[in-house]
């Protein structure tokens, strides 16, 4: 923000054009839904054919409403699917901690533990 350049301005215009075109699209968040946070984590072990890196994916729900969805390539190559799962779970827990802090900052205090679901028996 202190030294804007042309690529940043172009990206900003692109975002504004996107927002203008999707003005009437939206997601429904029910006011009757609970404020319990829960997460799902998954990994695509060695899914990248060039460097054999795994891809971590996770999503977060606040009650019945999806509030965050992310997919990112892991920084290291995992030797087995269990190692990739542990890394995915660690990334998901990092995001859970950040989301709980953010929700607390918005006065949404959750006293319950956050449920984290994964589909790998060896990681469990």
CA separation for the pair 1, 44 (Å, rounded) = 36
* Per-residue pLDDT reduced to its tens digit, 87-113: 888 888 999 999 999 988 988 877 889
Q: Is this model's pTM higher than 0.95 or not?
A: no
State how many domains the chain has.
1
- Give domain status of residue 12, yes or no: no
* Per-residue pLDDT reduced to its tens digit, 43-93: 877 666 677 778 788 899 988 888 888 888 777 777 677 777 888 888 889
Nearest-Å Rg of the Cα atoms of the chain is 18
- Give domain status of residue 18, yes or no: no
Q: What local confidence, expressed as pLDDT, does residue 23 receive?
A: 80
- Give domain status of residue 81, yes or no: yes
Q: In which domain, by residue range, is 49 found?
A: 29-118
């Amino acid at each position: 923000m202190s030294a804007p350049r042309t690529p940043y301005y172009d990206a900003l215009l692109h975002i504004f054009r996107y927002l203008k075109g999707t003005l009437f699209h939206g997601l429904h968040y029910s006011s009757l839904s609970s404020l319990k946070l829960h997460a799902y984590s998954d990994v695509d072990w060695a899914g990248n054919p060039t460097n054999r890196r795994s891809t971590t994916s996770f999503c977060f729900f606040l009650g019945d409403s999806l509030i965050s969805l992310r997919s990112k390539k892991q920084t290291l190559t995992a030797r087995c699917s269990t190692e990739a799962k542990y890394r995915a779970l660690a990334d998901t827990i990092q995001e859970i901690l950040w989301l709980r802090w953010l929700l607390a900052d918005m006065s949404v205090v959750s006293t319950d533990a956050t449920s984290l679901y994964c589909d790998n028996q060896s990681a469990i």
